[in-house]
Amino acid sequence: MALDIAKATSHPFRKMPLLFQSVRGTKDILPNDAEILHDIESQARILFSAYGYGEIITPILEERDLFIRSLGKDSEVINKQMFIIERGQDLLALRPEATAGVIRAYLENNFNHIDALSKFYYFGPMFRAERPQKGRLRQFNHLGVEAIGSLNPLLDAEVISLADTILRKIGISGFKIKINTLGCANDKKKFGEKLRILLKSKLSLFCSDCQERFNRNVFRLIDCKNASCRNIIAGLKLKRQDYLCKDCFEHFAAVLENLKNIGIEYEESPQIVRGLDYYTRTVFEITHSSLGAQDALGAGGRYDNLVAELGGAPSGAIGFAFGVERLLLVSKCQSVKVSKKDLVFLITLGKEAEKEGVKLLHNLRQAGIKSDTDYENRSLKGAMRRANDLGAKHVLILGENELKKNMVMLKDMKSGEQREVKIENIVYECQRVIVS
């Protein structure tokens, strides 16, 4: 793979050009971001459990045909974006999304016989060979849920309210929930035929992407972001009443009523169509304007035919997935507070103090206190600067004088106050003063 020459040679600290770079469309998540991600993940876990969802961890590798059957051979993901691996007779794929694998696991592990309603959540990497740009990667992470076994519109409202609550819990504001219904498979078929008739004579006015999608997936012309395509679609004045059967119409009305009932704000948006075959009835997207062109933070919907499509009995189901890297982008943009543990930084002065310091640090860490030193034998001033750079809330200073008295100096970096504490009491004292 070709190196990005500018990146390989351009960093001011770099004396030698890089020999290797990350694969196009992949991204290293560095410690500061990883800490925010873990915080997001732990907040989400608390909510998943409060809503009665259990974690499922499915493999990244699945049979290629599982995705073709689930997402549809004409979908963009299958046509252009799957990473396929051929090993002897096996045709495998790196999962582009998790729903198909979760349903495979649900059937394989007989959840359909055990539980009337099964609720799962997951975290993990997904792979799509897309053209990389801001917020669009080839390897990215999803945080999502699947609830399988009910057609009740109350479940749609539960799942959408869970998505809304996760965002609020991690401190993200200013997002929009856009919601639509596609109707059942029969409604989708009728609507697709109607769209083809309406759009055929106007096709040359659409962008090249839309022209290509017309035969493969005509619904995608509705969610094109191109302004002139949008104008043509708006001119058609499509109304969902025109293509929904009575059951689907009532289902959608009940979903909206339930959302209102629990105070979830949403916008009805006929542009939301989702690109995958398995979606039926309720579909939704959650967007955030700070993301720019790729503004979807997350998305989901019902897939009432997928369980039957993969060999089970028909079962209503609904889920969603957030793009974790996009949650991170918005969190950073909005300076969302991360519940970091307070750091205690240890400074030792002299060889004897260094030896005692190693024991002290070990004891602090054994007690679960976030604590560090840098083994650099700096001057007190240099070490204090380092403690400050790391954001330490407290500093422990162990010099020869303190050592003789069996004491250590505990300094509060914010107030500047300092006092001596007996070495044997320091773990307890640190536990007392820090907010973990």
Coil, helix or strand at residue 305:
coil
92/98 with CB nearer ligand AMP? 98
Site for ligand AMP in 233-292 (CB under 6 A): none
Residue from 325, 361, 371, 387 binding ligand AMP (CB under 6 A): 325
Which segment (223-231, 310-318, 320-328, 329-337) binds ligand AMP by CB under 6 A?
320-328
The one segment of 131-139, 183-191, 264-272, 369-377 that binds ligand AMP by CB under 6 A: 131-139
**Among the listed residues 48, 67, 140, 191, the single contact to ligand AMP using CB under 6 A:** 140
Closest CB 193 distance from ligand AMP, rounded Å: 25
- How many beta carbons lie within 10 A of that of residue 57, not counting itself? 9
Nearer to ligand AMP among residue 198 and residue 296 (C-beta):
296
Does position 101 interact with ligand AMP (CB under 6 A)? The reply is: no
| Residue 372 and residue 357 in contact, taking contact as beta carbons nearer than 8 Å | no
Among 137, 163, 199, 255, binds ligand AMP (CB under 6 A): 137
- Taken in order 294, 296, 297, 299, the sign of the CA dihedral is negative
Strands 139-148 and 317-323 turn out to be antiparallel
Both tokens assigned to 223: 């969610």
Of 147, 321, 360, 430, which lies in the binding site for ligand AMP, with binding defined by CB under 6 A? 321
> Rounded to whole angstroms, how far apart are CA atoms 267 and 322?
18
Contact present, 122 and 56 (Cβ < 8 Å): yes
Q: Is 145 in the site for ligand AMP (CB under 6 A)?
A: no
Q: Which residues within the stretch 285-304 sit at the binding site for ligand AMP (CB under 6 A)?
A: 296-299
- Interatomic CA distance for residues 119 and 121, integer angstroms: 7
Angle among Cα 44, 318, 255 to the nearest 5 degrees reads 100
Smallest gap from Cβ 307 to ligand AMP, in A, equals 18
In the complex, what is the shortest distance from the CB of residue 336 to ligand AMP, in angstroms, rounded to a whole number? 16
Residue pair 430/409 in contact (Cβ under 8 Å)? The answer is no
Q: How many residues does the chain have?
A: 436
Which lies closer to ligand AMP via its Cβ, residue 243 or residue 322? 322
Q: Indicate the residue among 136 and 365 with the shorter CB distance to ligand AMP.
A: 136
Please say which residue, 128 or 213, places its beta carbon nearer to ligand AMP.
128
DSSP secondary structure letter of residue 349: -
The span of 47-55, 180-188, 317-325, 403-411 binding ligand AMP (CB under 6 A) equals 317-325
* DSSP category for residue 101: H
Strand order in the sheet with 61-63: 61-63, 90-94, 83-87
Nearer to ligand AMP, 141 or 373 (CB): 141
β-strand pairing of 139-148 with 118-127: antiparallel
Does 130 bind ligand AMP (CB under 6 A)? Our answer is: yes
Residue ranges in 23-62 that form contacts with ligand AMP under rule CB under 6 A: none
Least CB distance to ligand AMP at residue 164 (A): 15
Stretch that binds ligand AMP, among 26-34, 303-311, 323-331, 345-353 (CB under 6 A): 323-331
Pairing status of strand 280-288 against strand 394-398: unpaired
Angle at 176 between CA 288 and CA 329, to 5 degrees: 20
Shortest spacing between CB 324 and ligand AMP, in angstroms:
8
CA terminus-to-terminus distance, the chain: 45
Q: Which listed residue (72, 101, 323, 357) binds ligand AMP by CB under 6 A?
A: 323
Question: What are the start-end ranges of the E strands in 188-295?
Answer: 267-268, 280-288
Pick the piece of the chain touching ligand AMP (CB under 6 A) from 31-39, 135-143, 305-313, 396-404.
135-143
Of 39, 62, 76, 97, the one binding ligand AMP (CB under 6 A) is 97
172: tokens are: 């993200």
Of the pair 326, 411, the CB lying nearest ligand AMP is at: 326
| 3-state secondary structure labels for all residues of 234-259 | HHCCCCHHHCCCHHHHHHHHHHHHHH
Beta carbons within 8 Å of 337's beta carbon, 6+ residues apart = 171
How many residues touch ligand AMP under the rule CB under 6 A: the total is 17
Q: How far apart are CA 381 and CA 360, in angstroms?
A: 21
Site string for ligand AMP, 179-218 (x = CB under 6 A): ----------------------------------------
DSSP character at residue 136 = B
Q: Pick the closer one to ligand AMP by CB: 277 or 402.
A: 277
Interface positions with ligand AMP (CB under 6 A): 97, 128, 130, 135-137, 140, 142, 296-299, 321-323, 325-326
